Homo-oligomer: A and B are copies of this chain.
Amino acid sequence: MASKAATSEESAGKGMLMKADAIADAFRTEVKMSLRACTRPPKLVGILSTSSAPSRSYAMFTKNQCEELGVEFLLITSGAAKSNELGEGEGVEEAIIEANEDESVDGIMVYYPIFGVQQDHYLQQVISPVKDVEGLNVKFHYNLYHNVRFIKPASLLSTVSTPTVAITAVSDNSPPGTVKSILPCTPLAIVKCLEYVGVYNKILKYGDRAYGKIITVINRSEVVGRPLAALLANDGARVFSADIDSIQEYTKRPSLPMSRNSETDGPAARRYYPHHVVHPCGQTLEACLGVSDVVISAVPNASYKVPTAWLKDGCVCVNVASEKNFEKDVREKASIYLPSVGKVTVLMLLRNLLRLRHYNELLKES
């Protein structure tokens, strides 16, 4: 059945079907190399607290990936995942607190959704930033939105926001005394996929390698759509961010006619990193898609489909939803179609795990 589906998918058009496996392989090798340098394997705790079948299968997938690579993975179940006598999500917060306090634990991930957007967001903030492998702490989102790429390790322990003007970098290497900020896994995985398929141009300077690209991101949640749009704009792209009731334009280029940064960036004395500015956009989704080099869709609704007819010929399409957001004939228009990014996401999570463990060691030394 699976192979039949793959075959019919492969013959569905002329564009290339790009499975995430090849992209994941490159990072799997990188993670393996880093693990070889570890004196003890890092320990990741996964917390499953609902009866959701997709969450359980994602937990098993994480476990397999970890064990294959030599990362210690401990699955903790609570609530409805533990017993059908217990409520959905019961005990999840206590499990997080215990993992926060357990010195043998290097990273914590929680299988969402549990209680709904608001209460889940609360839970995401209960996880210590030092163990937040998913990168969902507001601290990391703040750094992302403000294009703060390098941080001092001690900032992970402080509620004072990272200064937005202190450190500048001209390359991918951290300036002395700093480390890379943690990026949320899913948006980061999407960026890595776009790098792999050539959307990012390495001949351009670091931090501006998506310059010239127009990208539409459909979804504006705090977990996927908004951080992704900001990341891409901070890397130079012009981004249309679409959600159910509006379209916004994200750009960091002050010279565009729509930009009003002299009014919105505050007094001239206050210097920020160049980072994305958001403007309302008067265009329709159809018009945005018609000029977009890349279309990324993450709408959690099985009936939502991006009309192939609206796509620009030769664009790159990335599906991030569990039910496909693109029509079967997407490759009639798309030059490259990525049906999922999940296999890359879990490797970004393991990369974050290795980084956070290193940052934690630096904190203990100092």
State which of B94, B100, B160 has its C-beta within 8 Å of the C-beta of A265: B94
Interface pair B138/A159, CB less than 8 Å apart? no
> How long is the Cα–Cα vector from A161 to B100 in the complex, in angstroms?
9
> How long is the Cα–Cα vector from A283 to B128 in the complex, in angstroms?
37
Interface pair A125/B100, CB less than 8 Å apart? no
Interface pair A91/B266, CB less than 8 Å apart? yes
State which of B122, B226, B264, B266 has its C-beta within 8 Å of the C-beta of A138: B122
What residue in chain B is nearest A130 (Cβ atoms)?
B159
A365 adjacent to chain B (CB < 8 Å): no
> How long is the Cα–Cα vector from A11 to B291 in the complex, in angstroms?
64
A54 adjacent to chain B (CB < 8 Å): no
Contacting residues, chain B, for A79 (C-beta < 8 A): 264
Interface pair B117/A85, CB less than 8 Å apart? no
> How long is the Cα–Cα vector from A279 to B304 in the complex, in angstroms?
35
Interface mask (A109-140 → B, CB under 8 Å = 1, otherwise 0): 00000000111011001101110000000110
Interface size for A (C-beta < 8 A) is 49
> How long is the Cα–Cα vector from A142 to B100 in the complex, in angstroms?
14
A307 adjacent to chain B (CB < 8 Å): no
> How long is the Cα–Cα vector from A85 to B83 in the complex, in angstroms?
56
A68 adjacent to chain B (CB < 8 Å): no
A67 adjacent to chain B (CB < 8 Å): no
A175 adjacent to chain B (CB < 8 Å): no
Contacting residues, chain B, for A94 (C-beta < 8 A): 264-266, 270, 272
A97 adjacent to chain B (CB < 8 Å): yes
Given contacts A125-B125, A160-B128, contact A118 B86 (CB under 8 A): no
Interface pair A86/B121, CB less than 8 Å apart? no
State which of B97, B222, B278 has its C-beta within 8 Å of the C-beta of A118: B222
A170 adjacent to chain B (CB < 8 Å): no
Interface pair A128/B161, CB less than 8 Å apart? yes
Interface pair A98/B260, CB less than 8 Å apart? no
Given contacts A90-B264, A278-B87, contact A222 B121 (CB under 8 A): yes
In the assembled complex, the CB of A135 is this many whole angstroms from the nearest CB of chain B, namely 14
**Residue from A78, A94, A278 having most chain B Cβ neighbours under 10 A:** A94
> How long is the Cα–Cα vector from A342 to B320 in the complex, in angstroms?
43
> How long is the Cα–Cα vector from A164 to B96 in the complex, in angstroms?
13
Contacting residues, chain B, for A97 (C-beta < 8 A): 161, 164
Contacting residues, chain B, for A264 (C-beta < 8 A): 78-79, 86, 90-91, 94
In the assembled complex, the CB of A282 is this many whole angstroms from the nearest CB of chain B, namely 12
Interface pair A158/B161, CB less than 8 Å apart? no
Interface pair A139/B122, CB less than 8 Å apart? no
In the assembled complex, the CB of A141 is this many whole angstroms from the nearest CB of chain B, namely 6
> What 6 new A-B contacts, CB under 8 Å, besides A78-B264, A83-B263, A100-B161?
A87-B278, A91-B263, A97-B164, A98-B266, A119-B222, A128-B161
Q: Which 7 A-B pairs have the closest CB atoms?
A: A125-B138, A91-B264, A118-B222, A94-B266, A87-B280, A90-B264, A129-B159
